[in-house]
Amino acid sequence: MESELGFKFDWSSKKVLIVEDDTFSVEYLIEVLSETNVQTIVTKNGLEAVEIVKNTPDLSLILMDIQLPGLSGDKATERIREFNKTIPIIAQTAHAMSNDRERYLKAGCNDYLAKPILITDLFLKLKKYI
Ligand code: MN
């Protein structure tokens, strides 16, 4: 899959945590990101995401779905921020209303991507924070 940016990123030294409960969305993200050779860790669970961040000191960035069963993405972000203030967290959400955005940023997300996530948006957002 070729991005529309006209060049390729090499993020082979970077590690991204994908927190997403929808299998199709996970497969899509992994396929798109494979072009960059970035390392990926996947979880469908907010609580597990918190544990992975605790146990993965070399993590570069988190793509955080908001709508998750159990612990929601914004709550998981709040918990992560209790012990890690610096890791970039990008919310991925179908609910890109301005009120929601404010809530995600307040929870500690650095930025957000609106679903369906466009490849170019994803790469440019990652480039900014990774
Ligand atoms: Mn979801």
Q: Is residue 60 a part of any domain in this protein?
A: yes
What separation in Å is there between the alpha carbon of 4 and the centre of ligand 1? 26
Task: In whole angstroms, give the CA distance from residue 52 to residue 124.
Answer: 25
Q: What is the pLDDT of residues 33-44, one digit of tens each?
A: 999 999 999 999
Edge-to-edge strand list for the sheet holding 111-114: 39-43, 15-19, 61-65, 89-93, 111-114
Q: Which domain holds residue 48?
A: 15-129
Q: Is residue 2 a part of any domain in this protein?
A: no
Instruction: Please give the model's pTM, rounded to 2 decimal places.
Output: 0.93
Q: What is the pLDDT of residues 67-106, one digit of tens each?
A: 999 999 999 999 999 999 999 999 998 766 677 788 889 9
Q: Is residue 78 a part of any domain in this protein?
A: yes
What separation in Å is there between the alpha carbon of 47 and the centre of ligand 1? 14
Q: Is residue 5 a part of any domain in this protein?
A: no
CATH code where residue 95 lies = 3.40.50.2300
Name the domain count of the chain.
1
